């Protein structure tokens, strides 16, 4: 982040802190608040609003939502749009400990505290750690499983001349490859909106981005081009296998009989 971007981020952070002071006075049941979203990762242009999560009791969330509020509440402060979502602290704590919601872990891992009545937000954020070894292995195999499955669909679809289906699953494969790259480096998988923004910051992500761009540029729905894309995907898949082995994924799970092993569907 350059000096100018840092200046704009500080300005947004000050706007958020000033706004939340008044918001908490109006809603004293709030225990804490954090800023998440595009501003946190350096986007402060006209398209970037300020996203704030506030934490209250489950009962307070229910009351707020029964009044038609509590989700995507929108305000304008000093010309900047502010969006507020209400959550129970216990709900977020559960999401952090079950490791399933990658987007939440990514968002909270970058969150900036705006208000913390009794230190509950600090305790929440301190619990965010890189994926435990076993969880990471399960997530890696789950995404590898989907990638291998999509490669089969692409091949069959080309043979059947269902070219739209083949192209769709090439794009689906790109998503799986990208998510595997984050897991290889033991980084939280971003929400899809910011997947490629953060992918460019990964060591292996930077290396594979030219190939990923090539996969995403389908000029014509023709067998020759689609087959070439599939071959490129196979090449990428082969290169990823050694990283999965290094992470502890069992060799037989990423071999030719990958389909015999059912992944843990609940891990991601």
Lowest mean pLDDT, pick from 26-30, 126-130, 133-137, 240-244: 126-130
pLDDT higher than 80, residue 229: yes
**62-113: pLDDT as tens digits:** 999 999 999 999 999 888 899 999 999 888 888 888 899 999 999 999 899 9
Mean pLDDT over 172-195 rounds to 95
pLDDT the model gives residue 44: 66
Does residue 188 have a pLDDT over 70? Answer: yes
CATH topology for the 133-267 domain: 1.20.120
Report, in angstroms and rounded to the nearest whole number, the Rg of the chain calculated over CA atoms: 22
- Burial (CB < 10 A; 0-12, 13-18, 19+), residue 41, is middle
Q: What percent of the chain has pLDDT over 70?
A: 96
Q: What is the CATH number of domain 3-126?
A: 3.30.460.10
- Top pLDDT among 115 and 92 is at 115
> What mean pLDDT do residues 203-223 have?
96
Average pLDDT estimate for 165-178: 98
pLDDT at 13: 87
Q: What is the mean pLDDT of the chain?
A: 92
**Residue % of the chain over a pLDDT of 90:** 77
Per the DSSP assignment, residues forming a β-bridge with 76 are 81
- Three-state DSSP state, 51: strand
pLDDT in tens, 49-62: 899 999 999 999 99
Q: How many helices (H) and strands (E) does the chain have?
A: 10, 5
Strand order in the sheet with 50-56: 73-77, 80-88, 50-56, 32-36, 112-116
Q: Which residues pair with 87 in a beta bridge?
A: 55
- pLDDT number for residue 79: 86
Cα–Cα distance for residue pair 30/178, rounded to 1 Å: 37
Q: Is the pLDDT of residue 268 over 90?
A: no
Q: With cut-offs at 50, 70 and 90, classify the pLDDT of residue 40.
A: confident
Digit-coded pLDDT (tens) for 125-136: 888 889 999 999
Q: How confident is the model at residue 248 (pLDDT cuts 50, 70, 90)?
A: very high
Decide if pLDDT at 2 tops 50.
no
pLDDT > 70? residue 1: no
What ranges do the domains of the chain cover?
A: 3-126, 133-267
Q: Do domains 3-126 and 133-267 have the same CATH topology?
A: no
């Amino acid at each position: 982040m350059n000096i100018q971007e840092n200046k704009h981020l500080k300005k947004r952070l000050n706007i958020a802190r000033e706004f939340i002071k008044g918001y908490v006075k109006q809603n004293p049941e709030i225990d804490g608040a954090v800023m998440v979203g595009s501003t946190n990762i350096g986007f402060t242009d006209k398209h970037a609003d300020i996203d704030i999560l506030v934490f209250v009791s489950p009962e307070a969330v229910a009351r707020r939502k029964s009044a038609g509020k509590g989700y995507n509440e929108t305000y304008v402060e000093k010309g900047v749009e502010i969006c507020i979502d209400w959550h129970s602290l216990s709900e977020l704590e559960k999401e952090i400990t079950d490791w399933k919601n990658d987007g939440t872990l990514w968002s909270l891992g970058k969150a900036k505290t705006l208000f913390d009545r009794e230190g509950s937000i600090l305790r929440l954020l301190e619990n965010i750690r890189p994926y435990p070894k076993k969880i990471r292995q399960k997530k890696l195999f789950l995404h590898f499983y989907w990638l291998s499955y999509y490669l089969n669909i692409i091949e069959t679809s080309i043979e059947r001349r269902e070219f739209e289906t083949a192209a769709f699953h090439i794009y689906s494969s790109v998503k799986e490859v990208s998510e595997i790259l984050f897991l290889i480096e033991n980084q939280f998988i971003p929400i899809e909106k910011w997947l490629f923004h953060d992918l460019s910051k990964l060591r292996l992500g930077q290396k594979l981005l030219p190939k990923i761009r090539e996969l995403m540029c389908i000029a014509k729905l023709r067998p020759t081009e689609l087959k070439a894309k599939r071959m490129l995907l196979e090449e990428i898949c082969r290169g990823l296998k050694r990283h999965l082995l290094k992470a502890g994924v069992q060799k037989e799970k990423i071999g030719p009989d990958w389909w015999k092993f059912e992944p843990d569907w609940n891990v991601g």
